Structure 1
Amino acid sequence: TIIQTFPNGLIDTSEIKEHTNVANEIHNFTKRFNVDSKDKFKFINNGIFGYTTYDAVKHFEDIEISKKEDSLNIPEIYYAVYQNIIAINHFKNEAYIFAHCFDSESNIDDIHHLIKAKNFASYEFTSQGKINSNLTDDEYKQHVELAKKHCARGDVFQLVLSRKFEQEFKGDEFNVYRALRSINPSPYLFYFDYGNFKIFGSSPEAQLIVSNGKAEIHPIAGTFKRTGNDLKDAELANQLSTDDKENAEHVMLVDLARNDLSRHSNQVTVETYREVQFFSHVIHLVSKVTGQKHKDVSTMQIVADTFPAGTLSGAPKHRAMQLIEQYEKTSRSFYGGAIGFMDFEGNYNHAIMIRTFLSKNHQLHWQAGAGLVSKSNPENELQEVYNKLGALTKAIELAENI
């Protein structure tokens, strides 16, 4: 069901049918809003904010995604136009306050007063019991062997299989986010509070960026664990850039990004290739693929073309997603989806929901996977999953002392 709620109280509900173009529905929703301000800013000051779950790919592609046992019950796609946006320039210590008004006075003075008051409640966070997973380590290694067989048979070149983790808690999970952004600073830091659930994370990877018609994908593939020693990390970075298995994985995903963008874009180019980038707990190989979207095509069509990121599915994408549906025990839900904003001009910036928590009913949920190829070593791939989750489990520990 598609539910659209408007400032005048109108609620528009429609059923998703076989011919429904969900990407177009989102595009049309944004076109119902007008922005009066003629001032140009280099940062977001209007538009829709929210997320698209991995499971929502069934609305963009002809693929079966079922609702599995123990699935998280959240909307597959959720976007909202917020009354106020506060944009902070940390370099200049400046804050810009914007108001979206509909038959009402601006509330900017009220927001300004709240900021100056500096009154906010703070609560403690305590984890309860041990971390649980939907797979044991041995079961995950069995999944690696299954993926290797599919790669050897030629069904896929690469397959991303993941496992899910859960932790019960008491108190305020915002402390986990505070800890996470401190120990794992990333290009995308986000905290979305939807009342009965929250999504927050520190993602290193863009799902898609569209700016003035130019679309960008930044494939991240190839992962080594950091040691904490700068000299050793530099040596590891050199090993990563020459590792056959990691490079083969990366090349496939760069090609996939090029193909996805080529569906409705011109001048598709690999602008940077296999650049080594350092994050708090891991080292990654990163590339940048760009294209100029066709003028008569909406940004949401580019989103549909490129969703989900190949780094979260594998290649070829369609067959890889079928195998994910076959082997993963739990619906992915938010994991591997995208979160961010799109303004009313079609400029779009979303992070992939990796290194991300979902909090619901006093439970934290998080997930990670590995890109599996025919040369994968099960023990190494298992450790890659744990390496990627290092910052998240550490954030849970640190949150108890904030």
Structure 2
Amino acid sequence: MKRIKFKTIHKTKMADTITPVGLYLRFRDTYANTLLLESSDYHSKEESFSFIAIDPVISVKAENDHLSFSHKGVELENQKIGRNFNAIFDRYSQTIDLDCSEELKPFNGFYGYTTYDAVQYFENISLNVEQAPSAIPLMQYSFYRFIIAINHFNDEMTLIENIEEGTASRIKEVQSIIDAQAFNTQKFEIVGEESSNVTGEEFKEYVRKAKSHCKRGDVFQLVLSRQFQQKFKGDEFNVYRALRSINPSPYLFYFDYGSFKLMGSSPEAQIKISTEKAIINPIAGTFRRTGNMADDILLGKKLSADKKETAEHVMLVDLARNDLSK
């Protein structure tokens, strides 16, 4: 496949009057498929960043056991994955010929998501598609024309543009949207009653079975979940805004793909790669913060001394070690 050349330029400005949410609201109506990755852990550490990815140029998508490659919304190639995911994805990623400074490389690259069910592409696991159908692509990553990186520690914003060979820069167009003060907000309201794919009694029975498997030694841990559905009218972004208020975290995200949206809040990163090192830092055991430092320290000590929590953490560290060895 022919390589596509890009040259990266950037502008930097103060961001002490800018919020990631306000900035995202400025762009989403003008640019479809805009992504927000936000850290609400402001000023806690130097690597506390939020990102907004705007205008996807190249996209790689895994769906129905096929991996597709698209350029500016036009699909150029579609291959059956089978057991060749890594080889196909690596070849697609190599199509980008990027002229980018070293300081911007940590912010540049593919932005997107990987679902749990995508494990079938990395491990020898076969899933029953009929029992667990996927309504969205199992993986989707895009290389974006514009990336806004907000450094919360320094109150500094970097606007990055990846200019494809043969096209002119549009960084001034994006800059004007950043400088605009107005943005649109819409209402949100639920419609009807909440529903689930599993009843409360059925879920309790699953829990009893899971505990039985753990006691017999069949497994170390089982994570059970239920799906909930709620009809609504209005803007889903208000749900994300409520989530970040109720559950602020270093890793918040809101991905708008048009026909579906993804959002979430996590206290930990799945994996971090820096200076050619991969790091997994699993978290096990939590307690509700009291607002009183002395009480929080006491609760933290109790948590560290809890045999169950300690055993779980040792297990997670062991699993992380196994994952890194692969």
Q: TM-score, normalised by structure 2?
A: 0.73
Counterpart secondary structure, 1:162 = coil
* 2:112 aligned with 1:54: no
Counterpart secondary structure, 1:13 = strand
- Tell me which residue corresponds to 1:200: 263
CA distance in 2, matches of 1:62, 1:39: 37
CA distance in 2, matches of 1:31, 1:152: 48
Unaligned runs of 5+ in 1: 264-402
- Tell me which residue corresponds to 1:237: 300
**CA separation of 1:70/1:131 partners in 2, compared to 1, >3 Å: closer, same or farther?**
farther
Match of 1:125 among 161, 166, 188: 188
1:276-311 CA-partner distances (Å, limit 9, x unpaired):
xxxxxxxxxxxxxxxxxxxxxxxxxxxxxxxxxxxx
| Aligned-partner residue type, residue 129 of structure 2 | K
CA distance in 2, matches of 1:12, 1:196: 22
* 2:138 aligned with 1:76: yes
CA distance in 2, matches of 1:8, 1:167: 31
**1:227, CA displacement in angstroms?**
5.4
- Tell me which residue corresponds to 1:258: 321
**1:115, CA displacement in angstroms?**
1.3
- Tell me which residue corresponds to 2:214: 151
CA distance in 2, matches of 1:47, 1:135: 39
Counterpart secondary structure, 1:63 = coil
- Tell me which residue corresponds to 1:11: 76
CA distance in 2, matches of 1:198, 1:150: 35
**1:42, CA displacement in angstroms?**
7.7
**CA separation of 1:111/1:177 partners in 2, compared to 1, >3 Å: closer, same or farther?**
same
Counterpart secondary structure, 1:51 = strand
**1:39, CA displacement in angstroms?**
4.5
Match of 1:173 among 216, 230, 236: 236
**1:149, CA displacement in angstroms?**
1.9
- Tell me which residue corresponds to 1:2: 67
Kindly report the root-mean-square deviation, in angstroms, between the aligned alpha carbons of the 2 structures.
Answer: 2.3
CA distance in 1, matches of 2:287, 2:266: 17
Counterpart secondary structure, 2:311 = helix
5 Å-filtered alignment, 1:103-114, equals: 103-114=166-177
Partners of 1:223 and 1:246 within 8 A in 2: no
- Tell me which residue corresponds to 1:214: 277
CA distance in 1, matches of 2:101, 2:301: 49
- Tell me which residue corresponds to 2:93: 30
- Tell me which residue corresponds to 2:51: none
- Tell me which residue corresponds to 2:148: 86
**CA separation of 1:93/1:223 partners in 2, compared to 1, >3 Å: closer, same or farther?**
closer
Counterpart secondary structure, 1:4 = strand
**1:240, CA displacement in angstroms?**
1.8
Partners of 2:144 and 2:162 within 8 A in 1: yes
Counterpart secondary structure, 2:163 = coil
Partners of 1:221 and 1:246 within 8 A in 2: yes
Q: Relative contact order (alpha carbons < 8 A, sep ≥ 6): 1 or 2 greater?
A: 1
Counterpart secondary structure, 1:80 = strand
| Aligned-partner residue type, residue 153 of structure 1 | R
| Aligned-partner residue type, residue 204 of structure 1 | P
Count of aligned pairs between the two proteins: 260
CA distance in 1, matches of 2:296, 2:175: 45
CA distance in 2, matches of 1:150, 1:75: 32
**CA separation of 1:93/1:152 partners in 2, compared to 1, >3 Å: closer, same or farther?**
closer
Q: In percent, how many aligned pairs have the same letter?
A: 50
Counterpart secondary structure, 2:232 = strand
CA distance in 2, matches of 1:159, 1:111: 46
- Tell me which residue corresponds to 1:140: 203
Partners of 2:68 and 2:75 within 8 A in 1: no
Partners of 1:30 and 1:47 within 8 A in 2: no
CA distance in 2, matches of 1:227, 1:216: 30
- Tell me which residue corresponds to 1:97: 159
Q: TM-score, normalised by structure 1?
A: 0.60
Counterpart secondary structure, 2:144 = coil
5 Å-filtered alignment, 1:177-196, equals: 177-196=240-259
**CA separation of 1:236/1:134 partners in 2, compared to 1, >3 Å: closer, same or farther?**
farther
**1:231, CA displacement in angstroms?**
5.1
Match of 2:84 among 14, 21, 26: 21
1:103-153 CA-partner distances (Å, limit 9, x unpaired):
211110110111122332210111223332333333222222211222222
CA distance in 1, matches of 2:284, 2:183: 40
| Aligned-partner residue type, residue 15 of structure 1 | K
CA distance in 2, matches of 1:8, 1:250: 44
